[in-house]
Amino acid sequence: MLDFLDSASIRDLADFNGTFRFLDSPITISTNQPEALSYFQKMYADFSLQTLKGKNGQSAFYVINEPELVQSPFIWADEKIYICPQPQMLPTYAYSVITNSIIARIQSHLIFHAAAVSWQDQGIIILGDSCQGKSTMTLELIRRGFHFLTDDVTCLHRTDCRIYPFPRALGLRQSAFGLFKGFIDVDCHASSMSSYGEKKIFLLPSDIPKVRIGDPCLPKFLICLSSYPGRESGGEYQSIRRYPDIRKEDKKFLYLGVDRFEEEMIRELRDLPGVEECEELKENTFPVIKVAGRRGFFLLPEIENLCFRHQVALVKIARSERVITDYSQKPYLERIPKSVAMRDLLRGFQGGWTSSVLKESGMSSLLFELSSIMKGVECFRMIPGELGKMADLLSDLVAGKAQDRE
């Protein structure tokens, strides 16, 4: 695809440059679209550098819109070209492609899709699927004096086992801002559409009242936000699905956010062993492929290989459809086995099978490292509900006052 382009010719098209450092990975972004660079700088203001000394180990990304040369805007990343499906979405699309590439190359940390805060040098990891309320919970805890580490990208150092801050802009769905009326002013902040078509507002840490960026700290608690449907009519929580036996669940679902529908790739995807259904969801802002597969088949590595071979950008992976947290019900906190919590955490491992960590060490070493990090961590499941009461439960927990309780 676009074989007539090379890095030298693309470099000549770029007039604007930005430099950043993400943990052990320095990068530069060059573009002829200043709004794309500006969006990235807003999201990662605390990662921006004035200059980057030396070129060793530095990765270069190019975001280009040159209709006279190429009909559609594109991103050059890792010697691969990704076509942006909608020109008006170039800033957010470039942000997703570049972020995914950066996370996959980081070797110093294990990175998970989770929020994290700290209290008196105790790290609290908040795990949950997209739209389950991680960022909302994080902002409420900040309001109560907890220190901010991250709202979406939790970084565990592979040597000292600490959670390191990853303070990119905190993103909340527009529908959640009513919970913080009078605390934050949402005007004039960066915004974008989520893959489900709902507007998200992004707040820089410096724009949040009372915010403090926490120091690296050891994790003490892992909170797994649940997707339980709520309570039965009798007032008891539906507990029949607690600690499900995954061998008895016939199907698993993946929702793949991609840059475009590639018919040949989708045909090959339908033919993969273990795939039972494959559906194109075209009503979203970006194309989404829904895959239903049988348990026992490791589909994600095969899917990532297919995307790589067909030059399709895999922007996002989710394991459930959009979930709206019900903030009117009573929340519930229960202790869970560490094995259950680690299973959930591994599902949120970032970088997937393209991760430098997995390429270097393999899955067995990853599991061993994660077990060492989690050795002193207490694990809980939380059924989300009224935001203030959720924060009360977590505040009591870190203060040593809580067991399993409503």
Domain boundaries, the chain: 7-105, 113-227+325-398, 249-318
Q: What is the pLDDT of residue 41?
A: 92
The enclosing H or E element of 370 equals: helix 356-373
For residues 296 and 28, the model is more confident at 28
Q: What is the pLDDT of residue 237?
A: 40
Determine the average pLDDT of the residues in 263-285: 86
- Three-state DSSP at 120 gives coil
- Three-state DSSP at 96 gives helix
Q: What is the pLDDT of residue 142?
A: 93
Of 271, 308, 309, whose CA–CA distance to 291 is shortest? 271
Determine the average pLDDT of the residues in 98-110: 92
The enclosing H or E element of 388 equals: helix 387-398
- Three-state DSSP at 54 gives coil
For 166-211, the pLDDT digits (tens) are: 999 888 776 677 778 778 765 545 555 454 445 677 888 888 887 8
Partners of 289 in the beta sheet? 256, 280
Mean pLDDT of the chain: 81
Q: What is the pLDDT of residue 283?
A: 61
Fill in the amino acid letter for 139. L
Q: Which two tokens stand for residue 279?
A: 């559906």
For 389, phi and psi rounded to 5 degrees?
-75, -30
Weakest mean pLDDT among 81-95, 117-131, 260-274, 324-338? 324-338
Q: Measured between alpha carbons, how far is 127 from 117 in angstroms, rounded to an integer?
A: 12
Taking the CA atoms of residue 258, residue 262, residue 268 and residue 273 in that order, the dihedral angle to the nearest 10 degrees is 20
Q: Which two tokens stand for residue 328?
A: 């009117």
- Three-state DSSP at 137 gives helix
Question: From the CB of residue 28, how many other CB atoms can be counted at a distance below 10 Å?
Answer: 17
Q: Which is it for strands 378-383 and 219-225: parallel, antiparallel or unpaired?
A: parallel
Residue 129: band (very low, low, confident or very high) from pLDDT cuts 50, 70, 90: confident
The pLDDT of residue 35 is above 50: yes
The pLDDT of residue 248 is above 70: no
For 234, phi and psi rounded to 5 degrees?
-80, 0
Q: What is the pLDDT of residue 209?
A: 81
For residues 236 and 135, the model is more confident at 135
CA distance to 177, 191, 204, 216, per residue, from 186 (Å) = 8, 10, 11, 29
Tell me which architecture the domain covering 249-318 has in CATH. Answer: 2-Layer Sandwich (3.30)
For residues 139 and 69, the model is more confident at 139
Q: Which two tokens stand for residue 244?
A: 């499900």
Rounded to the nearest 10 degrees, the angle between the axes of helix 299-309 and helix 263-270 is 160
Q: Measured between alpha carbons, how far is 146 from 144 in angstroms, rounded to an integer?
A: 6
Q: Which two tokens stand for residue 292?
A: 């239903």
Question: From the CB of residue 304, how many other CB atoms can be counted at a distance below 10 Å?
Answer: 16
Q: Which is it for strands 25-31 and 59-64: parallel, antiparallel or unpaired?
A: parallel
- Three-state DSSP at 289 gives strand
Question: From the CB of residue 321, how many other CB atoms can be counted at a distance below 10 Å?
Answer: 14
- Kindly state the percentage of the chain with pLDDT values over 90: 37
The pLDDT of residue 305 is above 60: yes
Instruction: Using CB atoms within 10 Å of the CB of residue 109, give its burial: 0 to 12 exposed, 13 to 18 middle, 19+ buried.
Output: buried
Q: What is the pLDDT of residue 300?
A: 76
Question: From the CB of residue 158, how many other CB atoms can be counted at a distance below 10 Å?
Answer: 18
The enclosing H or E element of 279 equals: strand 275-281
Weakest mean pLDDT among 128-142, 189-203, 316-330? 189-203
Q: What is the pLDDT of residue 5?
A: 65
Compute the residue count for the chain: 406
| Cβ atoms of residues 114 and 154 within 8 Å | yes
Q: What is the pLDDT of residue 79?
A: 74
Q: Measured between alpha carbons, how far is 218 from 383 in angstroms, rounded to an integer?
A: 25
